[in-house]
Amino acid sequence: MKDPTLNIQPRAMDVSGETAFTYLALARKLSREGKRIISFGIGQPDYVTPAHIREEAKRALDEGFTGYTETAGIPELREAIAWYLNSRYRADVDPDEVIVTTGAKTAIFVAMAAYVRPGDEVIVIDPAYYAYAQAAKLFGGKPVLVPLRFEPDVGFRLDMEELRRSISERTRMIAVNSPHNPTGNIIPRDQIEEIYDLARKHNIIILSDEIYDNFLYEPQKFKSFLELPDWRSHLVYVNGFSKTFSMTGWRLGYLVVRKEVIPKMLDLAVTVYSCATSFAQRGAVAAIKGSWEAVYEMIEEFKRRAEVLYRVLSESEYIEAYKPEGAFYMFPRVSKFLKKTGMSAEELVKYLLYEHGVLTLPGSAFSEREWDHIRFSFATKMNNIIEGGKIVVEALRGYKRMS
């Protein structure tokens, strides 16, 4: 008889972890062994949290603000979040429609827990951040993948006809991430409206993860679902502080949902995490209400990095590069190299890491389908982008000469 502690329930067995961290662990192991690694792997800004945010958190600590807070978050932070969203999107968000979470990932988890039932289908625009599909499976849902279409030199586009065909009577939710991880795509304004029209027609919930909403290199293309006048009918909105304010380690996110369901959402939230860290919330108030100068400077730098990475990778006959429209990722196709060598994307990533000291991530880290693409995060210094990009280009050419 199997020990009961080995008998994990089937839904948990179906859930897979974030593959990206597996590759990051390999890279760190090589670093500890003395090998220099240029990392395009991690999805976090390479900037320190701005000083005024850190100072406010330290001030909160010095004042002894270290206890539990309201599960929904301190009132000052919920008011600041509502103020920000209303100032930017004219969304008429009430502070009582905001729940502060321990990162955007927790907000996704709480939203799925509230709405996804066994047998429900959750449409995931693929490739995608892994949490949407995994959280859906944990609650008995079935992820339905709608693949983005890749166009060389252009990037990725959502096929609305494919999305329509994927809707069934079991569809409960559509997970939308724009700007998009891992592709850097922005879903155009007209498609945002079309997706919401589909939600109305089929009585579907939209889970909109807009965590990269300030990393816009073609801002005229971006539209938030909060800009729609009747967003409360079909929207659960997710965002956070990790990317915009380079606060990844602070673990602060938030969700916005209509007021009527907030009490049940809070029941779920308090069961999972009680509340977000008290002094981190004070820092987040300073993030929103204080100077954004450092944020704007960072985004301009990331825009330059996107241009440089595109220029460097475009020198390769084996890499189909494009300019990202937002976020800080590029997901170029490498099918020519894979076909020539017989490698998989996973094998290519390991070849670049072990033989050339450059970390990228394979398409399989973002999908349950096979993608002949690898992801570059350009959240690293410009000299690393230039050097690492050139190493990748030459590594692929060098492999050609050896074969």
Q: Tally Cβ neighbours within 10 Å of residue 385.
A: 23
pLDDT at 9 over 90: no
pLDDT band at 18 (very low <50, low <70, confident <90, very high): low
Q: How confident is the model at residue 400 (pLDDT cuts 50, 70, 90)?
A: low
**In this structure, are 102 and 151 located in the same domain?**
yes
pLDDT of residue 403: 42
36 and 120 belong to one structural domain: no
Q: What is the CATH number of the domain that holds 335?
A: 3.90.1150.10
Q: What is the pLDDT of residue 43?
A: 86
228 touches 91 (CB < 8 A): no
Read off the pLDDT of each residue in 161-171 and give the average, rounded to a whole number: 97
For helices 104-115 and 262-273, the axis angle rounded to 10 degrees is 120
Query: Are the C-beta atoms of residues 78 and 282 closer than 8 Å to each other?
Result: no
Using 50, 70 and 90 to split pLDDT, how confident is the model at 26? confident
- Return the axis-axis angle of helices 345-356 and 382-402, rounded to nearest 10°: 110
Same domain, 141 and 175: yes
Rounded to whole angstroms, the Cα distance separating 302 from 61 reads: 32
| 224 and 264, same domain (yes or no) | yes
Q: Tens digits of per-residue pLDDT, 346-357?
A: 999 999 999 999
Same domain, 78 and 101: yes
The pLDDT, as a whole number, for residue 17 is 63
Domain boundary among 289, 311, 329: 289
Same domain? 40 vs 61: no
Q: Could you tell me the residue range of the domain that residue 161 belongs to?
A: 51-289
Q: Which residue, 254, 289, 324, sits at the end of a domain?
A: 289
* Count of structural domains, the chain: 2
- DSSP annotation of 333: B
pTM (two decimals): 0.94
Whether 197 and 237 map to the same domain: the answer is yes
Last residue of a domain, one of 269, 289, 309: 289
pLDDT greater than 80 at residue 12: no
- CATH, residue 83: 3.40.640.10
Written as six digits, the tokens of 389 are: 């990009």
pLDDT band per the 50, 70, 90 thresholds, residue 402: very low
CA distance 288 to 8: 42
Domain co-membership, 209 together with 324: no
Vertex 137 angle, CA 133 and 141, to 5°: 100
pLDDT in tens, 128-139: 999 999 999 999
